[in-house]
Structure 1
Amino acid sequence: MTEKLRVLFVDDEPHILRGLRRSMAIMDDQWDMTFCPSGENALEQMAREPAFDVVVSDMRMPGMDGAEFLNIVRSRYPETIRVILSGYAEMESILRTVGPAHIYLAKPSSVEAVYAAISRPIALNRLLSTPALRAVLAGLNNLPSLPDLVLKLENELRSPSCSAKSVAALIDQDLAMMAELLRLTNSAYFSVAGPVTTSLQAVRTIGLETIQALVLQIGIFRQFSDSAAMTPMLEALTDYSLAVARLAEAFAVSMGADQATAKATYCAAMLSQIGLLVLL
């Protein structure tokens, strides 16, 4: 028999907690659920109970808000999957939760949406063989990017002549930056109508101002800063991924694919080796 998933819900509004308890009751056979009225109370609960697999927190709460609470959870319990549940799509809230939250869900979210969001990272966690590896992946904030490219992107974003095309062209040259931008753009943070599959589409969808805030204020792209001996490995991985991406795009065009499909093929091929970045 599979062990129940331990899920902690945090919200300061009693009627919201009651609603969560009622709507999530259908998961009782699979989830062991706890409901807390504040971040402070949740941290006390986490300190005295067995580890929780997932924490789902409201964003706006008096005292300790969701971003602060999840930051503490990230520090103390790196293996725990962190989900922010919020009815507000304000830029300030988005910027504060990009780091501490793995997943952003908009209120109101159906049971199916919560289940789907939680199930994906949990399925990956269960495939990983050791607690240490699970902790590393769950605690990972972002993947490393080539330092020169990060600096070029930052300079471009500060330039008066900056454009969506020029920014996307730089992001297209880096595995980690492309992956992070597409992940964010396709999340509930931005509620886009359909899947975003290219860097240019992503930049145009969420806007240059948002990209500037994410890169220059929040630092969503991390420069590779480990040993100098590892830098050539990252450069080689990037060169290989770019070559595969260009070949895949050319093949798609030769088969009669339209421009959108060809560009999506480029992105898919570029990201085909993304898992190797975790090892660097």
Structure 2
Amino acid sequence: MLPREMLKGRLMTQHTDRIVFVDDDPQVLRALEVLLRSRKDQWEVHYLNSGKAALNLMATQRVDVLVTDMMMPAMDGATLLSHVVDRHPEVFRVVLSATSDRQQTLDHLDLIHQYISKPVSGQELIHVVDRACALRKIVQHEGLRKHIAQIQTLPSRPQTYHMLRHLLTREPYQHEAISHVIRRDPGMTSKILQWVNSNFFGIRQRITDVHDAVMLLGSDLLHDIVDKFEAFDQACTLSPRQIELNELWDHSVRVATFSKAIMVNQENVQPRDIEDAYTAGLLHDVGKLIMVEYFGSRYSQLMHKAHNQSLNLRELELGELGVTHAQVGAYLLGLWGLPDCIVDAVAQHDQPAEHATSGMTLPAVVYMANMMDQNEAGPRHHPNMQAIDPDMLIDSLRHDIVGRLDLAISIAA
């Protein structure tokens, strides 16, 4: 399911989505045309046999989604993607390739939003492109969309890389300890989930749990990915100048912990629901970093105004900027191919508690958890949040979670 904001925007727009497929093999292009014929009335599709042809088209017409092979003569996919990043950064970039060259793909992670392995079903390909087109409607600000599309990574705490480098050199594979480190860092979690949910690594199931991702990727591949992320992080344009990164990430860990505790206490809950709740809570505020970077002191002042005057940040964002940090965060995570349930919860986490009228949905859980932390229902000023084990905190919360929920609901009412 896509966030309601996306679906509403999709119905309201008169914009025809323009999709470009690039592959040097004419048989592949013909096969794609057959696979996608059900969308011929919804999309304007161009099937091109070279990167040069794609760039020529993009020089004269707006393109929403580019899907390209990697192994092509004259201009390969990486070169094409590099040109697109420089000239048309707002374009959603997908690789559709049969290449099994892991190093080549890792070398070009910064150019790719999502990766799809050949062969691909029409249903899977349509889902990826439909989702990308719907995502464009959630953020109407063209300049902001361009900015988000160029983001390679979100900043991680320096100690995250230090601890992971140490753990990844140990034998046997320290998957439990590695998972514990990653799941306390929203930046690292978002990137690990981006790549484990691409099917380049042969994993076609939906993954929202960092522990599952760490087990599936394995030590060698995770080591290579972490090295690449650290290089991205060092060149990251997202500067936590005006938001103290540790404070924001600590808040995110607390909300994740509260989200998990709330979900644990629901009836008929499945293990996957519990991990979805933790991950959605952890990633709920990633949009704030992007808003600060793009809008600068204007957004920082907006946050201070909301905090100091007890005003609704969502209403201030919409009134003064026309977009919310929740929408921006959902847009980025959607571009990166995180599961719909996580994107949906992030997009709606700042909306009122009427989410819960038909049951405690994932967006409602994250909303409540966020309210609990914002209203000092949690350890806001703990001197060493990094030392707290989320599972231990969850166990301690089970005894009074109902009272804390009542508090959050009464405040939201």
Partner of 1:212: 223
| Greater Rg over alpha carbons, structure | 2
Counterparts of 2:116 and 2:56 in 1: how far apart (Å)?
24
What pairs with 1:68-107 in structure 2 (closer than 5 Å)? 68-107=79-118
Give the stretch that moved more between structures: 177-186 or 216-225. 216-225
In the TM superposition, what whole-angstrom CA distance separates every residue of 1:197-253 from its partner, at most 9, and x where no partner exists?
221211111111111111114647625676674362x21111111112223333444
Note if contact 1:87-1:107 (Cα within 8 Å) is conserved in structure 2. Answer: yes
Q: CA deviation at 1:188?
A: 1.6
Aligned in 2, Cα 1:230/1:20: closer, same or farther, shift over 3 Å?
same
In the TM superposition, what whole-angstrom CA distance separates every residue of 1:69-115 from its partner, at most 9, and x where no partner exists?
11221121101111110123442243134221112122222333222
| Aligned partner letter, 1:131 | E
Counterparts of 2:270 and 2:44 in 1: how far apart (Å)?
48
Counterparts of 1:263 and 1:27 in 2: how far apart (Å)?
35
Note if contact 2:98-2:118 (Cα within 8 Å) is conserved in structure 1. Answer: yes
| Aligned partner letter, 1:35 | Y
What pairs with 1:130-149 in structure 2 (closer than 5 Å)? 130-149=141-160
TM-score after normalising by structure 1? 0.87
Aligned in 2, Cα 1:166/1:7: closer, same or farther, shift over 3 Å?
same
| Aligned partner letter, 1:185 | V
Number of aligned positions between the proteins? 278
1:19 counterpart (10, 25, 31) = 31
| Aligned partner letter, 1:272 | H
| Aligned partner letter, 2:216 | T
Q: CA deviation at 1:174?
A: 0.6
Note if contact 1:143-1:176 (Cα within 8 Å) is conserved in structure 2. Answer: yes
Q: CA deviation at 1:254?
A: 4.8
Counterparts of 1:31 and 1:260 in 2: how far apart (Å)?
35
CA RMSD between the two structures: 2.6
In the TM superposition, what whole-angstrom CA distance separates every residue of 1:113-161 from its partner, at most 9, and x where no partner exists?
2221012222121221221011111222111222332333234334567
Unmatched tracts of structure 1, length 5 or more:
none
Counterparts of 2:208 and 2:191 in 1: how far apart (Å)?
12
Alignment pair present for 1:273 and 2:301: no
Aligned in 2, Cα 1:183/1:29: closer, same or farther, shift over 3 Å?
same
Partner of 2:335: none
Partner of 2:355: none
Partner of 1:249: 260
Partner of 1:10: 22
Note if contact 1:245-1:268 (Cα within 8 Å) is conserved in structure 2. Answer: yes
Alignment pair present for 1:122 and 2:133: yes
Give the stretch that moved more between structures: 157-166 or 171-180. 157-166
**Displaced runs of 4 or more, over 6 A:** none
TM-score after normalising by structure 2? 0.61
Unmatched tracts of structure 2, length 5 or more:
1-12, 293-413
Note if contact 1:144-1:277 (Cα within 8 Å) is conserved in structure 2. Answer: no
Note if contact 1:145-1:176 (Cα within 8 Å) is conserved in structure 2. Answer: yes
1:40 counterpart SS class: helix
Alignment pair present for 1:56 and 2:70: no
Alignment pair present for 1:28 and 2:40: yes
| Aligned partner letter, 1:39 | G
2:192 counterpart (163, 178, 181) = 181
Give the stretch that moved more between structures: 69-78 or 145-154. 145-154
Fraction of identical pairs, as percent = 30
Aligned in 2, Cα 1:28/1:265: closer, same or farther, shift over 3 Å?
closer
1:157 counterpart (168, 188, 198) = 168
